[in-house]
Structure 1
Amino acid sequence: MQVSRDTETGISRGCGFVTMGSISEAKYAIAALDGSDVAGREMRVKFSVDMVSGRKNVEALNSAPKKNFVFESPYKIYVGNLSWSTRPQDLREHFSQFGTVVSTRVLHDRKRGKNRVYAFLSFSSPDEVKVATEADGSEFYGRVMLVRQVINEAGRQNE
């Protein structure tokens, strides 16, 4: 394994290369890990030929991997002011008291030097979203959560 680092600072660029034992192992790793969550960031796993041009036989390497898609319902909430240690499974467990949690995404916003952790959760019905928003102002892992219903692209609350 080799982590790509900035030559001047030595800080990781957030990417690296892993050498697998065979093409089938590499395809399996891509199918299993591409798009998965690592510390709140979406991990991209690809063959190096996808990143570096000029390689031969790219089609043979890329024929089998299939991306696993996460289903998100239209009934979503935003949860803000979360602790850095918050994991998707922790939020799923906590918010399942309000209904069926269909999906959970925890994100880290490091832009503009702000250390914020927030998440989006989707539920199976609009009634569950309304109940879940009542968690606004409650404490989770020592932080007071901000919970809001997500507004869809048309500017309406999902109902």
Structure 2
Amino acid sequence: MMLYEKFSQVGQVISVRVCRHRITRRSLGYGFVNYTKREDAERALDDLAFTVVNGRPVRIMWCRRDPSQRTNAAGNILIKNLDKSIDSLSLLDTFSAFGTVLSCKVVCDDNNVSKGYGYVHFETVEAAERATQRLNGMLLNDQIVTIEPFRSFKDREAELATSAEEFTNVYIKNFGEDMDDNRLTELFSKYGPTSSVRVMTDDNGNSKGFGFARFESHENAKKAVDDLNGKVLNGRRLYVSRAQRKAERQTELTRRFEPESLDRGSRYQGVNLYVHNLDSDMDEERLHRAFSPFGTITSVKVMTEGERCKGFGFVCFSSPEEASRAMTGMNGHVLGTQALYVVLARSLGA
């Protein structure tokens, strides 16, 4: 009734259907509205986009029966460094000038505060390219935004794997406060030419105990890591490895502690959660971010078929108390476009 009253303001509505979970009958966070006239549906898209319904701004888009049209990343762009005042409606208003927008979203935290980035999915690649060429590097609300093509989690992970095989930048720590750039250069230059070597210092110019050495070739960088990692220097055991970005370290830690079987074995009873009603574009990075406020996550697994999420996955916590908090906090919570169904994995007979 709530949706009918809202959408009938712009035209004659034939039917309204809210999609619900087949067992719990909870709303899945999305539904369908059918109009008698196409022009009324078009007016609803223009006038009611991101209107607040039951305390949440709703996203409205054309119903597309072909799932490949919804999941195809072509025409989908990522906008970063958005001003916190820009909401989804503002983003839609800005980017719709370049072509038909299938969906648009500013990513927010649990308090509905913008995280500073969002997505716009155009109907055509050409429209996405026009928007990127025109607005990339431009000011939006006094902040320079960066626009790039959307890449799936698998694509980003493949890129990280490639960089791991071809690294030239080396991270060094635990060498003490007496180290400086010249001494570190002397230590690493014997493995091959370096383009830069630096000891990180505090505001007073004192060593922080770690630094970086960038080689001109991967072979020399690998040689330095293999030879110096674990070597004792001035009574300290050096740690030398490939330099990693924060995202790479987080992904590696997640993989390292991922159990062989996420839904079996007594050691995971009471800590492993089954998460259902995931969007088809859900990835493990996003699922990890959503559940991380409730405790220490030891593993995350999104079940996929090809490159698409099959609609469910698992999140494993370090203690039953954390898993219980997450289950209470996330069951029924809307993540993406759907309300999650979260239970202990063992309760499903796993």
Q: Which has the higher helix share?
A: 2
Which structure has more relative contact order (CA 8 Å, sep 6+)? It is 1
- TM-score of the pair, normalised by structure 1: 0.49
